[in-house]
């Protein structure tokens, strides 16, 4: 072995060791207490999660179902058929099995078939996709309107239906994170957005300075917040719980500083909260989500 070979081998070994060292914290992450396991925190990317977050709204459920049931099934069927054809061709038409190859270069029937079948598959995908798009962009009789404004670097929430209810939402600093209150680093905020369950909420999204994006994976919502423009979306959450999202448009140096925390509470709880909020008190203490212990777990850090 030359000196050069030794050098290359040494570098390879170092790369393997450093990769293993980098992966080690992942194991620790898996061991970490997972706030998502108690069923109250619902919209949250779990350690080692595969696939998308569970849908909490009709739109998110529609997206998940289209992706997991329909598109994935079509992909599997196509992949299996193509693989089977490849295997058949390799076995049946190799040099040994088929020493004299056919000279055929054109077959109208086969060409018509391989053009029409993909067209039919695309039409089959387009119909449920367009139906879902229609659901996403059609807001039927909203029960409530919510205005979301992206600022550098926080979110502003306004409830135009309830006079005077407008506040800002910022993440809880790392040092103040209290896991006993189900707070999650970089996701939990001081003043979460509170919405009633079972109600259609129209969301109007705009930006104050640069483009932000209000994205809630478990709601199937990702709407750009653009200065000078009002974008509209909607959601209806049926299950009370805590859901998380983030600004999903690179908006500057503190982009990470724009998480979204939504507390979906039952309409009666929402009424109580909104009454207090009208007086400028946006704290959530005393208002709990069913199944959640009442130990002021909903109280945000001051
Ligand atoms: Cu942003």
From ligand 1's centre to the CA of 269, what distance in Å?
30
From ligand 1's centre to the CA of 6, what distance in Å?
49
pLDDT at 272 over 50: yes
From ligand 1's centre to the CA of 158, what distance in Å?
17
From ligand 1's centre to the CA of 18, what distance in Å?
34
From ligand 1's centre to the CA of 186, what distance in Å?
14
Per-residue confidence (pLDDT) for residue 104, from 0 to 100: 85
For tokens 């009666």, the residue is 268
Helices 108-137 and 58-65 sit at what angle, rounded to 10 degrees? 160
From ligand 1's centre to the CA of 189, what distance in Å?
15
From ligand 1's centre to the CA of 259, what distance in Å?
9
Distance CA 295, CA 180 (A): 10
Least confident of 193-197, 199-203, 283-287: 283-287
The H-assigned helical ranges of 66-199 are 72-92, 108-137
pLDDT bin (cut points 50, 70, 90) of residue 49 is: confident
List, by residue range, all CATH 2.60.40.420 domains of the chain: 144-278
From ligand 1's centre to the CA of 85, what distance in Å?
48
- Find the mean pLDDT for residues 68-72: 93
From ligand 1's centre to the CA of 251, what distance in Å?
5
From ligand 1's centre to the CA of 151, what distance in Å?
7
From ligand 1's centre to the CA of 45, what distance in Å?
19
- Find the mean pLDDT for residues 108-132: 95
Distance CA 85, CA 245 (A): 44
From ligand 1's centre to the CA of 222, what distance in Å?
12
From ligand 1's centre to the CA of 297, what distance in Å?
27
For residue 260, is it left (φ>0), alpha (ψ between -120 and 50) or beta?
beta
- Find the mean pLDDT for residues 56-63: 94
Per-residue confidence (pLDDT) for residue 297, from 0 to 100: 40
> Are the CB atoms for 147 and 158 separated by under 8 Å?
yes
pLDDT bin (cut points 50, 70, 90) of residue 300 is: very low
From ligand 1's centre to the CA of 131, what distance in Å?
30
Distance CA 275, CA 149 (A): 22
pLDDT tens string 75-113: 999 999 999 999 999 999 999 999 998 888 899 999 999
- Top-level CATH class of 144-278? mainly beta
Distance CA 203, CA 159 (A): 10
From ligand 1's centre to the CA of 210, what distance in Å?
8
From ligand 1's centre to the CA of 148, what distance in Å?
12
From ligand 1's centre to the CA of 152, what distance in Å?
6
Write phi, then psi, for 161 (nearest 5 degrees).
Answer: -75, -20
From ligand 1's centre to the CA of 101, what distance in Å?
61
Give the global pTM. 0.77
pLDDT bin (cut points 50, 70, 90) of residue 9 is: low
């Amino acid at each position: 072995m030359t000196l050069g070979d030794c050098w290359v081998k040494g570098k390879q070994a170092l790369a393997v060791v450093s990769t293993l060292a980098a992966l080690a914290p992942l194991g620790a992450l898996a061991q970490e207490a997972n706030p998502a396991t108690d069923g109250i925190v619902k919209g949250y990317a779990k350690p080692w999660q595969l696939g998308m977050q569970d849908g909490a709204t009709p739109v998110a459920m529609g997206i998940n179902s289209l992706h997991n049931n329909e598109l994935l099934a079509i992909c599997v069927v196509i992949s299996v058929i193509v693989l089977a054809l490849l295997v058949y061709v390799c076995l049946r038409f190799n040099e040994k099995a088929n020493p004299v190859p056919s000279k055929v270069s054109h077959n109208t029937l086969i060409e018509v078939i391989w053009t029409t079948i993909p067209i039919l598959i695309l039409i089959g995908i387009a119909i449920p996709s367009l139906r879902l798009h229609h659901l996403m962009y059609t807001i039927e009789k909203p029960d409530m309107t919510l205005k979301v404004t992206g600022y550098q670097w926080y979110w502003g929430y306004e409830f135009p239906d309830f006079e005077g209810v407008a506040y800002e939402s910022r993440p809880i600093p790392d040092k103040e994170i209290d896991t006993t209150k189900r707070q999650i680093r970089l996701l939990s905020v001081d003043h979460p957005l509170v919405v009633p369950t079972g109600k259609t909420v129209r969301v109007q999204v705009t930006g104050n300075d640069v483009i932000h994006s209000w994205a809630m994976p478990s709601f199937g919502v990702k709407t750009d917040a653009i200065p000078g423009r009002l974008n509209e979306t909607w959601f209806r959450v049926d299950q009370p719980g805590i859901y998380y999202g983030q600004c999903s448009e690179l908006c500057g140096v503190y982009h990470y500083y724009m998480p979204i925390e939504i507390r979906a509470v039952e309409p009666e709880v929402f009424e109580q909260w909104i009454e207090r909020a009208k007086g400028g008190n946006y704290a959530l203490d005393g208002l709990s989500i069913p199944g959640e212990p009442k130990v002021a777990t909903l109280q945000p850090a001051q």
